[in-house]
Every structure is written in structure tokens, then in C-alpha cells.
Amino acid sequence: MKGMVSLLTHRSPRPVTVAIMDGIGYREDTLGNAVANACTPNLDWLLANCPYRLLRAHGKAVGLPSDDDMGNSEVGHNALGAGRVYHQGARLVNEAIQSGRLFEGRAWRRLGRYCFEHKGTMHFIGLLSDGDIHSHIKHLEAMLNHLALNDKLPRARVHILLDGRDVSETSALEYVNRLETLLQKLQEQAHVDYRIASGGGRMKITMDRYEADWGMVALGWKTHVAGEGRKFPSAEAAIKTYRQEKPGIIDQDLPPFVIADESGVAAGPIHDGDAVALFNFRGDRAIEISRAFEDEHFPYFERTPCPKVAYAGMMEYDTELHIPHNYLVEPPHIDHTVGECLSIHHKRQMAISETQKYGHVTYFWNGNRSGKIDERLEDYFEIPSDMTPFEERPWMKAAEITDKTVEAILSGRYDLIRLNYPNGDMVGHTGVYQAAEIAVETVDLCLGRLMEAARKAGGVLIVTADHGNAEEMFEIDEKSKTPKLYPDGRIKAKTAHTLNPVWFIVYDPTGDDCIVFDQEIKEPGLTNVAATILQLLGLKPPEIYDPPLLLFREEG
């Protein structure tokens, strides 16, 4: 290919800024598309005037079991930082269950042995859905089956967290009924006492992340461990009651509940001698509850009661801090991340987002590693998120993130700056279409400021995303291609991620490099981004990376 240089450019722009528009994907159809229908003059200009490609951000392209699996922020940022595909949580757990390794492992045997020795109960806590983002109900079912039919443990309790975020917003009863059917079957087959003990919406209890709201974890502890809270005869009764009391409420926001008998005795508090397994495989919303069970000196809330239990997570959620100490499945060991490569070459880096996505541009980007790779070369900034519901503040902290990033671009201090705007994802999950449009417009407004800073600094701006969400805000009937409706005529919102691709746009305001995309790379994905970053910085990517996306036309 005459006149092209495949890897290195004659110039290393400084800085390269990577703006991740979390949850903002590409979809041609405009129905329910808060991205296409929003006012986005800066994004429109970039697409009209800059080279761009669409990247795969779901399924096998990011290490998930199949191409029917939607992308998510964890695997998306792993892929962006790792430069190649790693098998991710769901796939690793599937393989561990199918091979039997999970049940032969030290952690599983430890939990069962602890229960038998102390005549205790096995407790399972986790997100009850088949969303395959944080968990999958089939993993819970496999463990319950093995526990009853193979290990023959007589008593188990399940503490369910309701989804409505990675799956349909009011689908909780489908999963509850499926679980209740299995529990009844096991009771009849194996004569065991297995029941649902407590639950609540995932955005109300237990599943906080990045220490945004320890109160959620404290309320989860009160619900699951102490067995305290509003009592119902069944999970179905609790869900139906809350829906009647607050019409329009979606599953992720349902208040906590405790299952109790007619005399008000809770079905399954956690006591000394019990064992607890957290069956979520994704790390960000599993770390805090794991710390509550494991940390001897725990300062965030008073754990009353604080039973002595054997605890294990589905995976090691933090591979550097080793949280939790015991886990059922080995996580992916991601090395040679782009951050490591840049540190080796003494390149200065900055990472920034607000609390909701701060861990994604640090922990997940760095291959599930807490802390910095090189303290001397890296600066991380966390902008504290508001506690207000996202649909009420769809602009979130985008302006503050942009303020700090513009300052960093103009400082001349950094070679790589990576930032995450959470708006498209966090607001998209609420299902509130109008708020999602505002969220997208907020990000677009901020892109304009980044473009101006890149022009002044002579740097390059990359605009991309980790997965889609806001571009598909309605549940669509496949046959009629019209929105699904509730009985009262309201459009049924889609709150989950999508299977859609994301943009990868390169804005080089100097035009010095005459950047074009390498069309020989078919169906590129997020894993091609790491090599491209190194390429723009004048560094040769490691051979283990998926190839870089760009070519540079030589002058003349």
C-alpha cells in the first residue's frame, strides 16, 4: 500500500485524550433512540469531518459467551485496556460449572464443610436474572442442584436482588417463579429445606459500587443478615404489594423485604456457623458487601449482628487487594495492559470520571487491578457523584469532569488522558427517555470543550464508548417494529444495555498525520483500541495485541 505507514507516525501528538461516552452506541433506527434524536452538533461535526469506524462492543468480541450477550462496562473497559480478548466472568463461570471444577474447588468444599461442621445453613446472595452482566440465574440453579443432590446439605436460603436493569424493567416475577419452582422440586426430590429468605431492588440494597453509598450495603446487611425489615409471606407477595403501592416502580428500585412465617419469624437470617456465597461474578458491585463479610476492622457501618461465617464470592473481584479471600472461580488474569506499556516507556497518564464510573477507567482499564501501575507517572481523579436519582440530574458531573480534563490537556503534562462520561449509561438505565436525551446532549456539549482544548494543545481526541444503552430506550416488538406497551398504554422502557456497535472517532485538529483507517481489519472491536493508542503515541504495540486501526499517509 504505497504511501502508507502501518504503525508509527512521524509525530507523537501530546496528549492523546480518550473520551469514553459510556452507554452511547450507534443504532440506525431512530425509534426510541435518545442518541440519534438528541441535539448533538459536536458529535455530528465529528462524524461528518473526521475518520471513524464502528466497533463491536458485545458478545465474543469482548470475551462473553456468545454474540447474544450484550456488552457491559466491566468487559468493555477490560477490552479497551487489555488490547485483546479475554474470557470474561460469565464464560469462566459457565466453564467451571460444566467441567465440575467449581464444585471440586477448595472454596466450594470449604463452604459445605463449614455448614456440616457447625450444623449451619448455606446462604446465596446475588442478582436474580439472566442478564449475564453481574450474574446468571442458571449459575445459582446449578449450585442449588449440586448442594441438594450431591452434597446433600439439608438447609439453604437465597437472598435475591431484583434486576430490571440488565433485563426487562418489570420482569422480576419471571425469575422468582422460576426459582420457586426449582426450590419446590428440590424439596420434593431431596427432602431439603431450601427457601427464599429476603430481597430488594439492586439500586436500593447491597449492590453499591465505588463506595458511592455505603447506606445501600448497610440496608442489605440489615435485610439479609439480621432478617429485619418489612415482612411478607413470599417474594411474589412483596413484589406485587410494592407495585400496587407505587404504580410504575421498576424492579431495580423495589424496597427491601424479608420473608417470614405467620408469627413474623424471618425465614433466613444469617447466624454463626452459616456459610455465604455471593453468586455475582462481576466485581464492581460485589466488593463492598464482600468487605462487610470479611473485613475484621470494618468502619463503614455497624454490623449488627456480625455472625462468624464462611464466605466466598463467585470470583476474586479485586485481584490486587484480594477481595474476597475465598472465591469459587478464577478470574481472568489480565496483564500487559496499555497502562503498563505506557509506564514502561515513561509516558505520563491521567484517568478521570465521577464516582459511578471512576473504577472503570482505573480498576477495569488496568485489568482488574486496584491502585496505580506507577505512582510517579499516573494521576487519577474521582469527581464525587451526586446522590440524586440520575433521571433528575441527567447532566450528572460531566461539566466537572470536563473542567479537570481541559485543564489537563492544556497543561502539557500528560501523554494519555482517559475519561468516562457515565451519563448515557446511568441515565439510560432509568428508562426515562427525556432524561436520556438530555444526558446525551450533555456529553455532546462537553465534547465541544474537549475539541477546543485539543486544538489549542495540538493533541488528538479519540471519542468512543464501551457499549450501547441510550440509543435503544424502548422495548420494541420484533414483528410490528413498534414499541411494546403496558396495559395502561405507556411505552415499555428498555433499561438494559444493547448489542449495538459504538463509534471510534479520531479528531486530529492539526491534520498533520492524514489519518485513515486500515480497511483490511474486518469487524474491529474494542480490543483494537489499545494498540491504536500506542500507535498514536509513536509506540509499537505488543505482538499479543489485536492490531491498531489506523494508517498514516506520508506527505507527498
Q: Output the nine-digit C-alpha cell for 495.
A: 433499561
Task: Please say whether the beta carbons of 280 and 331 come within 8 A.
Answer: no
Cell 450477550 maps to which residue? Answer: 69
Q: What residue ranges in 303-396 does DSSP mark as E strands?
A: 310-315, 327-329, 349-354, 378-383
Cell 482488574 maps to which residue? Answer: 368
CA separation for the pair 234, 260 (Å, rounded): 8
Which residues, at least 6 apart from 521, have a Cβ–Cβ distance to it below 8 Å? 528, 547, 549
Which residues, at least 6 apart from 100, have a Cβ–Cβ distance to it below 8 Å? none
* Residues known to be catalytic: 73
CA distances from 474 to 165, 169, 492, 493, 494 (A): 13, 11, 6, 5, 5
Task: Please say whether the beta carbons of 52 and 480 come within 8 A.
Answer: no
Task: Please say whether the beta carbons of 79 and 365 come within 8 A.
Answer: no
Q: Output the nine-digit C-alpha cell for 538.
A: 509513536
Within 10 angstroms of residue 446's Cβ, the number of other Cβ atoms is 24
Closest CA to 440 of 461, 480, 468: 468
Check residue 206 and give left, alpha or beta (phi > 0: left; psi -120 to 50: alpha).
left
CA separation for the pair 535, 7 (Å, rounded): 6
- The sheet with strand 460-464 has its strands ordered as 52-55, 502-507, 460-464, 16-21, 416-421, 349-354, 378-383
